[in-house]
Amino acid sequence: MYSFYKNINIIGAWLLGFLWLLPLLYAIWASIHPIEYQVKFDLFAPLTLYNFENAWSQAPFARYMFNTFIYVTMTTSCQFILCSLTAFAFARYEFPFKNILFGLVLIQLMINPEIILIENYKTIKFLNLIDTIPAISLPYIASAFGIFVLRQAFKTVPKELDDSARIDGAGALRILWHVYIPLSIPTFLAYGLVSISYHWNNYLWPLIITNSEETRILNVGLAIFSMEESGIEWATISAGTLMVTAPLIIAFIIFQRQFVESFATSGIK
Amino acid sequence: MNIIKLVIISLTVVITSLSVRAIDLEFYFPVAVGGGAAQAIEKFAEDYTKLNPDVNVKAVFTGSYTDTDTKFLTACKSGTAPATSVMIAVTIFKYIDEECVMAWDDILTQDEIDNWIGGFYPAFMANGQVDGKTYGIPFQRSTPVLYYNKDAFRAAGLDPENPPKTWDEQLEVAKKLTIKDSDGNVSQYGIRIPSAGFPYWLFSAIVYGNGGKIMNDNGTETYINSPEAIEALEKLVALSTTEGVMRPGILEWGSTPQAFFEGQTAMMWTTTGNLTNVRNNAPFDWGVAFIPGIKQFGAPVGGGNFYLSIDTTEEEQQATKDFVKWITEPKQSVAWTKATGYVAPRAETWESDEMKEFLKEFPYPAVARDQLEYAGPEFSTYEQPKTVSIFNRALEAAVAGEKDPKTALLEAHAEIDKILKDYR
């Protein structure tokens, strides 16, 4: 009986996996075949790289790729620093209004970033940072979600380890660095993955705050293929999408095992 | 003596360098059609800057019309709006309401109003003027036309040079073009009028063709409850129900050209913004004709206009004016039509040698131009996003068979009326 259920599980997993993969498989199909074969699935259809050339030539994607890399790295590393410091304070220190302050941080989770678009824009203008890469990152680096998950992770660290480090004369930052962070690596990895994929996919804010080729990111460049009036050219948009998502997909395949393990142990699913 | 000379020289240098400092002219543009629209615009900006070294035109791509709208309003509210922006023509009331745009008339001479503004086709000015003042200069403008597969016409024994002219003729032709296989499945439908996304646009073509109107000029009242509109929707729904010449259900706008290329439909209604796309990708002989009407020819216009930001200095206004005048000149306008299929909005462009040359090898853009004579404005009211979405939902409900056409339109009209009451 057990093996029967196990088989059902396996079949179900494959089926779901296949459904998830379908859009990607279609994008691969559409991007390597001429436009006549977009929905005509003929195994012997001629192959072409024209769609990639065409998509690549419509916007400076190499530059966008570089900008995206800078923006995502900057955002995630700033989040790690700010969030781990804040989470550490909330997890291990007692100070007045602690719960109210933590509540305020959590409220941020409920605010849709689009609502404060104009306010954010005004702040960036005040800082004179419009049309720069830091401007894309800035509104996201004090991430409530990051503070929340890291606080949860730090809370599971045994107090005894903290105490013994303290007895050995370690200061707060040293304890954070040598005790809390090493024990929470899976959470950092999992949170980093969520954050990177979120920022890689971010669209509206980067579109609004940037104006030039030097600051624009991949996803904004991709919008050039949307063409709401004339209809979508699936071949070009598929090729473009594959180019834009390729770095993430390749990174995921390489680090797959680590990602899956870290998700399993961190409890974020 | 020498020192004084030096001071004078350096002062002169400083003063002249200040006076020739180039003005930065930023403008936002959305991309709604394929065929290299973005590259064409960037080339315009580059060419203009080359011709006018004292102006530095910076074209900023801003996504879809909706994205551009959000970006422009955000920038406007924060006091960093670009000097000008290409945005969809029909949201004109919103930009005036938000105090983000000003009338071009305020910076034009009487001569320019008469000759420049007066040179655009009136059909395209309809969505750009409020209370006799011009807020939108036509730029990426389109209108729907009928595309038909000439090979399919020949195969069905129809004359490929004689496309349908009235709704009834269209229906008759569509019946002949609908092909069923031995199992009774349709392998080729006669016609496809897409209904997903923004069905109101093509629907208003049927209403105009039925002698009706969809709204008043001030954007404060709609006529979608009129007998003409109700009959139009009944006829549209009948195509896929009782007549069986169109695929039933909501039909995607974006995949319609693809369905045409693959022979799933022998005729389609879509924008002239697709001319370049169809030209490049249709594997058969095809043609373009006026939208057939129930009583007469009729079609809405569509697309985007140049708006002038309220938040501009006099210097920027003059530079913007010169740039927009330049980009609407015949030479640029022809290049733009060639790249995209948009209808050149000025009569003089169509009389230019470049355009005549182009029409010799590709005559179809002229069909769209000729249809302008029968064209009406696109649906445009105050609170545009809300009213349009109510209108669209009603049309989709009728097409999907959830509501009968009359109830759907009457309900939508009542709902829109509640919103527009405050603006009368």
Digit-coded pLDDT (tens) for B216-225: 988 899 999 9
**Closest-CA distance of chain A to residue B39, Å:** 7
Q: How many domains does chain A have?
A: 2
pLDDT computed for residue B2 by the predictor: 64
Who among A38, A58, A125 is closest to B78 (CB)? A125
Whether residue B32 contacts residue A227, with contact meaning beta carbons closer than 8 Å, is answered with yes
CA distance A172 to A88: 9
* Together in a domain, A16 and A141: no
Cβ-based contacts of A227 with chain B (< 8 Å): 31-34, 254
Q: Minimal Cα distance from B65: which residue of A?
A: A228
> What integer best gives the mean pLDDT of chain A?
88
**Closest-CA distance of chain A to residue B184, Å:** 21
CA distance B261 to A208: 36
Task: State whether B31 and A232 contact (CB < 8 Å).
Answer: no
Who among B31, B80, B256 is closest to A130 (CB)? B80
Those residues of chain A whose CB sits closer than 8 Å to some CB in chain B are: 35-36, 38-40, 58-59, 117-118, 121-122, 125, 130, 204, 207-208, 211-212, 220, 223-224, 226-234, 236
Task: Residue B289: count other Cβ atoms within 10 Å of its Cβ.
Answer: 19
Surface-to-core class of residue A165, CB atoms within 10 Å of its CB (0-12 exposed, 13-18 middle, 19+ buried): middle
Instruction: Give A38's pLDDT tier (boundaries 50, 70, 90).
Output: confident
- Helices first, then strands: H and E counts in chain B: 19, 15
* Together in a domain, A223 and A119: yes
Tell whether B70 is within 8 A of chain A (Cβ). Answer: yes
* Together in a domain, A144 and A226: yes
What are φ and ψ of residue B20, in 5° steps?
-95, 10
Residue A253, both tokens: 């395949």
CA distance B67 to B3: 58
Residues 229-288 of chain B with CB under 8 A from chain A are 253-258, 261-262, 270-271, 273-274, 277, 281, 283
User: Which of these, B290, B104, B260, lies nearest to B189 by C-alpha position?
Assistant: B260
* Together in a domain, A72 and A166: yes
Whether residue A219 contacts residue A203, with contact meaning beta carbons closer than 8 Å, is answered with yes
Task: State whether A224 and B61 contact (CB < 8 Å).
Answer: yes
ipTM confidence: 0.84
Who among A38, A223, A227 is closest to B34 (CB)? A227
Distances (CA, A) of B51 to B44, B56, B177, B335, B352: 11, 10, 53, 17, 21
In DSSP terms, A110 is beta-bridged to none
Residue B123, both tokens: 């059909």
Residues in chain A: 269
Angle between the N-to-C axes of helices A2-32 and A234-254, in degrees from 0 to 180, rounded to the nearest 10: 130
* Together in a domain, A25 and A77: no
Task: State whether B31 and A207 contact (CB < 8 Å).
Answer: no
- At the topology level, CATH places domain B2-142+302-373 in D-Maltodextrin-Binding Protein; domain 2 (3.40.190)
Long-range contacts of A13-20 (CB under 8 A, 24+ apart): none
* Together in a domain, A27 and A141: no
Digit-coded pLDDT (tens) for B187-203: 999 999 999 888 999 99
Residue A62, both tokens: 């190499």
Cβ-based contacts of A117 with chain B (< 8 Å): 70, 74
Cβ-based contacts of A118 with chain B (< 8 Å): 74, 77-78
**E-assigned strands of B7-158?**
23-29, 55-61, 84-88, 101-102, 129-130, 133-134, 137-142, 144-149
Task: Residue A44: count other Cβ atoms within 10 Å of its Cβ.
Answer: 5
Whether residue B346 contacts residue B121, with contact meaning beta carbons closer than 8 Å, is answered with yes
User: CA B46, B50, B54: angle at the middle one, nearest 5?
Assistant: 110
Cβ-based contacts of A35 with chain B (< 8 Å): 261, 281
Task: State whether B78 and A121 contact (CB < 8 Å).
Answer: yes
Cβ-based contacts of A229 with chain B (< 8 Å): 32-33, 142, 271, 273-274, 302-303
pLDDT less than 50: residues of chain B: 16-19
pLDDT at A110 over 70: yes
Testing the interface with A: which of B67, B87, B260 to mutate, by most A Cβ within 10 A? B67
How does DSSP classify residue B286?
E
Whether residue A183 contacts residue A157, with contact meaning beta carbons closer than 8 Å, is answered with yes
Instruction: Give A269's pLDDT tier (boundaries 50, 70, 90).
Output: very low
* Together in a domain, A129 and A257: yes
Cβ-based contacts of A228 with chain B (< 8 Å): 32, 64-65, 197, 253-254
Angle between the N-to-C axes of helices A50-57 and A2-32, in degrees from 0 to 180, rounded to the nearest 10: 70
Residue B64, both tokens: 């879809």
Who among A118, A211, A226 is closest to B64 (CB)? A226
Domain enclosing residue A161, as ranges: 52-266
Q: Minimal Cα distance from A34: which residue of B?
A: B281
CA distance B32 to A225: 9
Testing the interface with B: which of A122, A126, A230 to mutate, by most B Cβ within 10 A? A230
Cβ-based contacts of B70 with chain A (< 8 Å): 117, 204, 208
Task: State whether A231 and B71 contact (CB < 8 Å).
Answer: no
Question: Helix H segments across B52-197?
Answer: 65-77, 92-97, 110-115, 122-125, 150-155, 167-177
Q: Where in chain B is the domain with CATH 3.40.190.10?
A: 2-142+302-373, 144-300+378-423
pLDDT computed for residue B10 by the predictor: 59
**Closest-CA distance of chain B to residue A145, Å:** 26
For CA atoms A150, A155, A161, A162, give the dihedral sign.
positive
Q: Which helix (H) or strand (E) holds B306?
A: strand B302-309
Residues 120-139 of chain B with CB under 8 A from chain A are none
In this complex, how many residue pairs, one in chain A and one in chain B, have their CB atoms less than 8 Å apart? Answer: 101
Residue B322, both tokens: 């010169």
Cβ-based contacts of A122 with chain B (< 8 Å): 78
Task: State whether A230 and B273 contact (CB < 8 Å).
Answer: yes
Q: What is the pTM of this model?
A: 0.87
Residue A140, both tokens: 């996201």
Task: State whether B31 and A121 contact (CB < 8 Å).
Answer: no
Distances (CA, A) of B179 to B29, B185, B269, B292: 43, 8, 19, 22
What are φ and ψ of residue B171, in 5° steps?
-65, -45
Residue B218, both tokens: 């001030």
* Together in a domain, A61 and A88: yes
Q: Note the CATH architecture for domain B144-300+378-423.
A: 3-Layer(aba) Sandwich (3.40)
How does DSSP classify residue A166?
H
Q: Minimal Cα distance from B277: which residue of A?
A: A230
The amino acid at residue B325 is K
* Together in a domain, A4 and A116: no
Task: State whether A59 and B38 contact (CB < 8 Å).
Answer: yes
What are φ and ψ of residue B13, in 5° steps?
-60, -45
CA distance B173 to B191: 9
Whether residue B99 contacts residue B93, with contact meaning beta carbons closer than 8 Å, is answered with no
* Together in a domain, A155 and A95: yes
Task: Residue A247: count other Cβ atoms within 10 Å of its Cβ.
Answer: 15
**Closest-CA distance of chain B to residue A126, Å:** 10
CA distance B117 to B247: 43
Whether residue A88 contacts residue A176, with contact meaning beta carbons closer than 8 Å, is answered with yes
